[in-house]
Structure 1
């Protein structure tokens, strides 16, 4: 019998500094077009985000200008890509290790055989995977896989890799880490579309243990779906002053139309595998933004509270790229142990969206605590 991979537990971590308010204040003060400033204020109110976190500590100067304690985003030129990567090299291992310790106080004792690490917000060699093996005290012979620069849906790809490892090696114990420092890539610009994209993103990390042991979240199967005609809707390109994100305003419409088409197919080849959305009890949807969650809600006619965990993660942390979906799954596990609304044994479906434009999905079952 083929082994079934299970997400046994998930640990999460965010950096120490809350930056959402400071970012909003900085942008509001810097916009020279009053109409753009009014629109930005409306979008802040509607974003559904209250907090985002970073290693960059905001500071308000005596004259009211907003910067940060280290002047990383200074009053003159903003940092080069090289400077941003230096901060990634310094801060990413700290946050990754915090998430691992939230998963297990002694990860070395867990017998980890494989490490799958996903990140799209920084590059360094020796890699974050190698640094984490050393700092966490893992066996140096652990097999390492890096899922790089895939964006928000990399969480699904990382779990898919762990799923296949456990299915082929039932004794495997896979540590899956998603780490993103999105706030390293803020851009100084008057482009309102870019500013509204930056309004969404914060930093976070998640660590999960995936094994064949039957507790936690059972991973059933995985499926991808590309959305035709949307190749430039989400882009993430490396520039001279960090990584430059483009998030087209049509992304929610692309997603809604694609989900309606998948729902209408009603065959085994769709992401719903021939079932109706009503056949799924649990929904773990990447909290990419309020408009994206609204698009999923409307396209699938979901119950009013189906995406409440995703909306709560968005409210508390913003969009943390690949780490975000893992925070949603962690909330589901916690809800189950605290006697909440998560239905143990129920059928679940998870999905995340990213560059391509594509959807990465998997089905799962939430097991009793």
Structure 2
């Protein structure tokens, strides 16, 4: 548990950004040629209506987006990450009335591309961060990684209460699509969208939630349930999702949530706000059942999935952004944020909403 004698870290603001092009599920299916039965069923499901994606224009003859080579996909990741990641950072800083020169620590999260130097270096150059910026890149942890990134930033801000940290989760999932007509790739291509989200972390807040504690839970016997495999035929990484993983994850959420809340003398019914990763319709349903949540509790998680699909590590931040924009959270109310992903890993965080403190930004 975080040292209660240290100054609290707060999520001062959140900003998100997406590709300009929005597609219905039917349009994505036609562009990518998702013809297998499983993909068609998923595309017709109501839990996702639109996704924002970086896709090449359709061929006028076939009506399909042309195949992209591994080199083209890598270039798309770099170009797209800089575009929407940069906008997400700018949006979060603007809301907090800050500029890149105010930031002391930048941590970038992604699992959809690999760069050396990493995204943090490119953002530092492109956005004008200060030369003494502390940088870190968290690569390859998957959909749970946003809270893995928030944890060290919260600790750093507690030890440097006069400084500002920024977390950015930037995922270009369309740079990882494999198009081979199988159910495996059809599931992935019908679910994931492109998106970025950033959060400004400070020791003070203008009403944003204070980060009180974290709790992790790993299911090592299910380490291979969500993974990248190298597809030799395609010359690309191919993502695999076990069909049972939504229910495995959902049934185990209660373990870390219970540990987290009991340390603070809280129970699930004490929690006013729930911010969950938008893993998919089955994931949300399973989480609801496991934790005894109402449909109202997951309204923002549902709406982000509906509008953007699963955008991996940044999904929970977009749900939090919608909660903050709604203005329904009151001082003293608690919230729980939950992410889950490869490992199989569940991450949780306890937050508390508060009134603006003296000297807050």
TM-score by length of 1: 0.87
| Correspondence for 2:359 | none
The partner residue of 1:309 within 300, 304, 311 is: 300
After superposing the two structures, state which structure 1 stretch, 95-104 or 105-114, moved more.
Answer: 105-114
Contact 1:52–1:202 at 8 Å: present in 2 too? yes
CA offset at residue 260 of structure 1?
4.8
| Correspondence for 1:51 | 50
**1:17 is aligned to 2:21:** yes
Contact 2:193–2:311 at 8 Å: present in 1 too? yes
CA offset at residue 230 of structure 1?
1.3
CA offset at residue 360 of structure 1?
0.7
| Secondary structure at 1:133 match in 2 | helix
CA offset at residue 137 of structure 1?
1.2
TM-score by length of 2: 0.88
The partner residue of 2:242 within 226, 237, 248 is: 248
| Secondary structure at 2:103 match in 1 | coil
What is the CA–CA distance in structure 2 between the aligned matches of 1:170 and 1:206, rounded to whole Å? 23
CA offset at residue 125 of structure 1?
2.0
CA offset at residue 272 of structure 1?
5.7
| Correspondence for 2:279 | 288
Deviations 1:158-197 (A, max 9, x none): 1101111011221121011111100111111222133112
Residue 237 and residue 368 in structure 1: after superposition, are their counterparts in 2 closer, same or farther (change >3 A)?
farther
CA offset at residue 304 of structure 1?
2.6
Residue 229 and residue 142 in structure 1: after superposition, are their counterparts in 2 closer, same or farther (change >3 A)?
same
Count of residues in correspondence between the two structures:
345
| Correspondence for 2:161 | 170
CA offset at residue 250 of structure 1?
0.5
What is the CA–CA distance in structure 2 between the aligned matches of 1:84 and 1:112, rounded to whole Å? 31
| Correspondence for 1:3 | 7
What is the CA–CA distance in structure 2 between the aligned matches of 1:42 and 1:239, rounded to whole Å? 25
CA offset at residue 350 of structure 1?
0.7
CA offset at residue 343 of structure 1?
4.0
What is the CA–CA distance in structure 2 between the aligned matches of 1:227 and 1:173, rounded to whole Å? 34
What is the CA–CA distance in structure 1 between the aligned matches of 2:303 and 2:347, rounded to whole Å? 21
What is the CA–CA distance in structure 2 between the aligned matches of 1:138 and 1:107, rounded to whole Å? 12
CA offset at residue 294 of structure 1?
0.3
The partner residue of 1:65 within 47, 63, 66 is: 63
Q: How does 1:55-204 map to 2 (within 5 A)?
A: 55-59=54-58, 61=60, 63-67=61-65, 71=66, 73=67, 78-80=68-70, 82-105=71-94, 107-108=98-99, 111-204=102-195
| Correspondence for 2:324 | 333
Deviations 1:314-369 (A, max 9, x none): 01111111111110111111111xxxx44443111111110111101110012347
Contact 1:262–1:272 at 8 Å: present in 2 too? no
Contact 2:253–2:346 at 8 Å: present in 1 too? no
